[in-house]
Structure 1
Amino acid sequence: MNPTPAPQRQAAPGPFFATKQRVTHVVFDFDGTLSWLRHGWPEMMLDTFAPHLPPGQEMHDPVIRERLLHLILALNGKPTIQQMVMFQEYARSHGSGAPEPERLRASFQACLDGHIEARTARISSGSVPVETYVVAGARALLEHLRGLGLRLYVLSSTVQHRVREEAALLGLSEYFGERIFGSPADPAGYTKRAVFERILREEGISGGQLLAIGDGPVEIADAKALGGVAVAVCTDEDVNGSGICDPFKREQLLAAGADVAIPDFNAALPLLAPLFGA
C-alpha cells in the first residue's frame, strides 16, 4: 500500500486549457462539489463497514483504512449501492461474510440522513448561514458563469428529488432551472455518461464545448472520454474553504484524467477564465 498522500493545494492546469475551443456548457456534480451538506460521508461509510471487516482486520489499522478509502472514492459518482457491493466482495474475498448490499446501503443512508437532517435544521433555524454548507467560492463562480451566458447543469448520482430539494435549500436552484439531474429511484442502469451524451445531443454541441467540474472519478473520466475539459474539486471533508486538496481525491481524480485539481472555488475564476474566452 502506498503511504498516505500529503495534502496539496492546487495542481497546475494541463496544456488542454490553452488549446481547445471555448466552453459553452458547464456540468457540475453536486455533493462535495457545490454542496457541503454531506461532508464526512467517506468516514460514515467506513464506520458502516467496520463491524463487518474480516477477522484480523481493524478499521484503525491505517493500511486497511486507506485501502478501503481508495476503493470507496474510486466509485464516487456512481450509485451508492455499488460501494456496498464492493465491500461485500472485499469481505468475501478475505474469507468473511457481510450483510447484503441493500442492508449495508440502508445502514449507511440512515447515518448520512441523520447528519443531513441536523445540518438542514441548522440552516432552517438560522443558527448557521447557508454558506456554511455551500462549497467555498461556489456561489461567486456560478454568478460569474451565469453572467457570461453559459448553460449550467447539475449532474448527480444522488436521487433526483433530493438533489433538487437540497439545491433549493442552499439557494442554488436559480443558476440551473430545470437542468438539475439526479439518479432515478431505481438506479439500476443509471450512468452519468448517458446524461452527458444526452446533453451534447440535445444542445447540438461537441465535447470540446463541455466543462465538467466534480469530485468523483466518474464525471472526470466521462468528460475526458467525450473530448471535454475536466476540473477536479478535491474538497476537504473536514474544513470547508481550507484551501487544501483532499489527498486521496486529488490522486484519484488526476489519475482519472482531470486537467486540474482545486480544493474549492476560492481561486477558481482566474484559473478557468481562458476556457470561456474571458
Structure 2
Amino acid sequence: MAYPPDPYWKIEVIHDDVKRGKFKSAIFDFDGTLSLIREGWQGVMIPYFVEVLKETPLAEDEESIEKCVTDFVDLLTGKQTIYQAIQLAEEVKKRGGVPLDPLEYKREYNRRLMERIRHRIEGLKSGKIAPEDMVVPGTFELLTALKERGLVLYLASGTDEPYVLDEARSLGIDVFFDGIYGAQDQYKLFSKAKVIQHMIEKHHLSGDELLGFGDGFVEIENVKSAGGLAVGVASDEVRRAGINQWKRNRLINAGADIIIPDYRKTQDIIDYLFPT
C-alpha cells in the first residue's frame, strides 16, 4: 500500500563499520517494532503501579512516586512484563508494605490493558480494522522483502506468549515467522537472548549473518552481543510517522547500528542492508 510521504524519513547510520549483505536470519521485537495494538500500554501500567505504591505505609507524594515508577518501567521496557512487576513488589517493600506475588501484579496489569485494547483485536478479527492500520508503516512490505531474500525470521516479545500469538495472527503477520516466542509465567524459561542463541545454533549463524529489529533496549543489546547488526526502530506509535526522540536516544545508547522511524521506504532499507 502507499503511505503518506514523510519528508523527515531517513536511515540514520550510527555505526558504519558493521558488515552487511550476508544476513541469513532476522529477529524482530513485536510491540512498537511491528504491532501497534498495544500502543499506549505505559498509560495503563504506570497509573496502576502508582496506585499500588500510594497505598503503602511510607508512600511519598504522588509526583515522586510517579517519577520512580516511570523510571523503572522505562528502564525495563523490552524485558518480560514480570520484571516490571517484580520491581513494583520491591518498591512496595521499600515503602513498608507487604507486596503481592509479582504474577498477581502482572495479571492485573494485563486485565486492565486488555480493557483498553480489546476493541482493536476484535476489530482486526472482524475485519472492521485493517491490519495495515495496526502495524508500523511498511511492516508487510519489509517482511515480504526479507523472506524473498531467503531470510529465516523470528519474533520474540516480552509480552506473554498467548497474547503475542493471538495478536500476530490477528494482524496476519504470523505467516512470516518460523518461530514466535513470548513471555512465560515461569519467566526464567524465556529471554530474547535465549531465542537468539537458538537461532544461531539451529541455523549455524555467524554474527554477521544475524539481523535484529527493535524499538527497545533489550533486543538491540542482545543482537549486538551476538555480533549482529541491530536496526533501531524509533517508531512514533501515535502519529505513525517521524521519529520518537526518546526511543532514538535509548536505542543509540543500547548500541543500535542504524535508526529508522518505520519501514515505509522498504527498498531503501533493503538496499542499505544488502549493498551491491
TM (normalized to structure 1)?
0.84
1:218 aligns with 2:218: yes
Match of 1:80 in 2: 81
Note the C-alpha offset of 1:237.
Answer: 3.6
Question: CA offsets per residue over residues 188-207 of structure 1, 9 Å max, x none?
Answer: 34221111011111101101
**Equivalent residue letter for 1:226:** A
1:202 aligns with 2:206: no
**Equivalent residue letter for 1:38:** R
1:258 aligns with 2:259: no
Question: CA offsets per residue over residues 145-192 of structure 1, 9 Å max, x none?
Answer: 12222221112223333322221211112212x422223442234221
Note the C-alpha offset of 1:95.
Answer: 5.4
Partner SS, residue 188 of structure 1: helix
CA distance in 1, matches of 2:160, 2:108: 17
For the structure 1 residues 19 and 202, does the alpha-carbon distance in structure 2 shift closer, same or farther, using more than 3 Å as the test?
A: closer
Note the C-alpha offset of 1:268.
Answer: 4.9
1:57 aligns with 2:61: yes
1:31 aligns with 2:31: yes
1:180 aligns with 2:184: no
CA contact (8 A) 2:220 2:231 kept: yes
Is the deviation greater in 80-89 or in 151-160?
151-160
CA contact (8 A) 2:19 2:208 kept: no
CA distance in 2, matches of 1:274, 1:102: 43
Is the deviation greater in 262-271 or in 220-229?
262-271
Match of 1:105 in 2: 106
- How do residues 1-278 of structure 1 correspond to structure 2 at under 5 angstroms? 12-16=12-16, 19-20=19-20, 22-54=22-54, 55-58=59-62, 61=63, 65=66, 67-93=68-94, 98-176=99-177, 178-239=178-239, 241-245=240-244, 247-277=245-275
For the structure 1 residues 9 and 90, does the alpha-carbon distance in structure 2 shift closer, same or farther, using more than 3 Å as the test?
A: farther
Partner SS, residue 231 of structure 1: strand
Give unmatched runs, 5+ long, in structure 2.
1-7
Note the C-alpha offset of 1:85.
Answer: 1.3
Partner SS, residue 53 of structure 1: helix
Partner SS, residue 26 of structure 2: strand
Residue-pair matches, total: 265
Query: What percent identity do the matched residue pairs reach?
Result: 32
CA contact (8 A) 2:50 2:69 kept: no
TM (normalized to structure 2)?
0.85
CA contact (8 A) 1:24 1:210 kept: yes
CA distance in 1, matches of 2:67, 2:74: 10
CA distance in 2, matches of 1:268, 1:57: 47
What is the CA RMSD across the aligned residues, in angstroms? 2.5
For the structure 1 residues 28 and 17, does the alpha-carbon distance in structure 2 shift closer, same or farther, using more than 3 Å as the test?
A: farther
CA distance in 2, matches of 1:11, 1:48: 37
Give unmatched runs, 5+ long, in structure 1.
1-7
